[in-house]
Amino acid sequence: SSLGLVAGPPSSRDLRVDMFLRSLLVAALATEAAGFGFSATMPSTGMRLRGQRSAVTTLHASATKPKLDTTKSQAIMAEARELMPGGVSSPVRAFKSVGGEPVVFDKVEGAYCFDVDGNKYIDYVGTWGPAICGHNLKEVNDALTETLKKGTSFGAPSLNENVLAKMVIDAVPSVEMVRFTNSGTEACMGMLRLCRAYTKRDKIIKFEGCYHGHADGFLVSAGSGVLTLGLPDSPGVPKGAAETTLTAQYNDLASVEELLKENKDEIAAIVLEPVVGNAGFIVPTKEFLQGLRDLCDKHGAVLVFDEVMTGFRISYGGAQEYFGVTPDITTMGKVIGGGLPVGAYGGKREIMEHVAPAGTMYQAGTLSGNPLAMTAGIKTLEILKRPGQYEKLQASTEKLISGILAAGKEAGHAVCGGNISGMFGFFFCEGPVNRYADAKAADTEKFAKWHRGMLEEGVYLAPSQFEAGFMSLAHTDEDIDATIEAAKRVFAKI
């Protein structure tokens, strides 16, 4: 009675099967009694007999996989929707674009996340980028523990602000001075005001599909959750705020030149994600980035790279180091906080000295530069600076995305994508995807099915076609191989 026949061909009832089962029963009971598992395959049937550390052993076909049990997650989300809008603290977490219920996390460790129902997943979201070294890293936690003994927030200058500031200045080509904030959105808000204060101009140019946080002036043709949820430009944004934001096409210099000509001497800044991660993963051409640099120099505008996502992610010096194009101002976040809330904007000294109290452009924050975030950032950057780290990220991510794309094409799907170091993405379309309009043509319904299938296979991916994925130093070759094999199974079903 400790054996259950779940699936098998008709021949499983013949004498050979009976003899096979009888011969293994003694071994099964013995290994279970000793607290060990076992696994055996019956010749000619493909059936496997597996024992676990439990009183029940199941005989099943090798293709059978138990359905993902998320009972506790569903109950928690049902309650959450009565307490918080949509049940979440940030919209994309609600799984609106992929369907089904979100899984509720209980803990994270290394390359893995665990939900409240005890399910384990290989994680390629990495808390949306910061977990580049892996989750819950002991080195970072040990440093945080020591800092925690001194207090969680000072509201006053601390030495670690200097330490992290010097590390950022040394690493990022454009940064000569830096101001710390509490989030990427806050950094972009400060950056926008600074650009206007410095140039004495009001208008900015951004690009369709690029996301720079939820400040009013940036919620025009935005990416990330706005694109994921299919929302129009957000209600509540005053007409005046939107009027000063002009939109161009990514990877299209002509569209930028036209706006500059139509608004001569009125453009304060050109702002972009140097690698788009909030409309899916979209790579610029070097010519496009250099062209923007030249246009800003010609028209007296400030060039801003929003490196909240790419900073310390695609190279230690960010996208500007990777592509060899230096902006005037850079915004940062995610990785530089090592998993704690943080943001920063920095740039040329002559521009940054307009920020109060050195200058008159006001921006402040109660928890800015708090000792815990500074400590986590310092330790994370120390780890990333060790030899071979970015080479490992590149090799791991290239193996993953190449395997996924090959599996998709082999199964007959139109897929395209790529990676730079530990940042990647792909689309359900033939491609190439060079701009927002190309990304919008991807098959989001198919992505939703694929996402759900991968979740049931134990792989946690961003719940949107329009979000980049992230590799960590903690991911192993075994994790990547398992992900590719899971992808093959899911591609075959959808």
Measured CA to CA, the distance from residue 302 to residue 351 in angstroms comes to 10
Catalytic residue IDs:
211, 306, 334
Measured CA to CA, the distance from residue 113 to residue 473 in angstroms comes to 15
Question: What is the structure's pLDDT at 221?
Answer: 66
Given the DSSP bridges, would you call strands 343-347 and 177-181 parallel, antiparallel or unpaired? antiparallel
Question: What is the structure's pLDDT at 220?
Answer: 75
Measured CA to CA, the distance from residue 402 to residue 417 in angstroms comes to 9
Exposed, middle or buried, 84 (CB in 10 Å: 0-12/13-18/19+)?
Answer: exposed
Q: If DSSP states are collapsed to H, E and C, what string results for the chain?
A: CCEEECCCCHHHHCHHHHHHHHHHHHHHHHHHHCCCCEEEECCCCCEEEEECCCCCEEEEECCCCCCCCCHHHHHHHHHHHHHCHHHCCCHHHHCCCCCCCCCCEEEEEECEEEECCCCEEEECCHHHCCCCCCECCHHHHHHHHHHHCCCCCCCCCCHHHHHHHHHHHHHCCCCCEEEEECCHHHHHHHHHHHHHHHHCCCEEEEECCCCCCCCHHHCCCCCCHHHHCCCCCCCCCCHHHHHCEEEECCCCHHHHHHHHHHCCCCEEEEEECCCECCCCCECCCHHHHHHHHHHHHHHCCEEEEECCCCECCCECCHHHHHHCCCCCEEEEEHHHHCCCCCEEEEECHHHHCCECCCCCECCCCCCCCCHHHHHHHHHHHHHHCCCCHHHHHHHHHHHHHHHHHHHHHHCCCCCEEEEECCEEEEECCCCCCCCHHHHHCCCHHHHHHHHHHHHHCCEECCCCCCCCEECCCCCCHHHHHHHHHHHHHHHHHC
Convert 285-310 to b/e letters by CB count within 10 Å (16 or more is b): eeebbebbbebbeebebbbbbbbbbb
| pLDDT tens digits for range 465-479 | 999 999 999 999 999
Q: Which two tokens stand for residue 243?
A: 């009027």
The segments of the chain whose pLDDT lies below 70 read: 1-66, 221-233
Question: What is the structure's pLDDT at 311?
Answer: 98
pTM comes to 0.85
Q: Enumerate residues 6+ apart whose C-beta is below 8 A from 254.
A: none
| pLDDT tens digits for range 418-449 | 999 999 999 999 999 999 999 999 999 999 99
Measured CA to CA, the distance from residue 452 to residue 77 in angstroms comes to 17
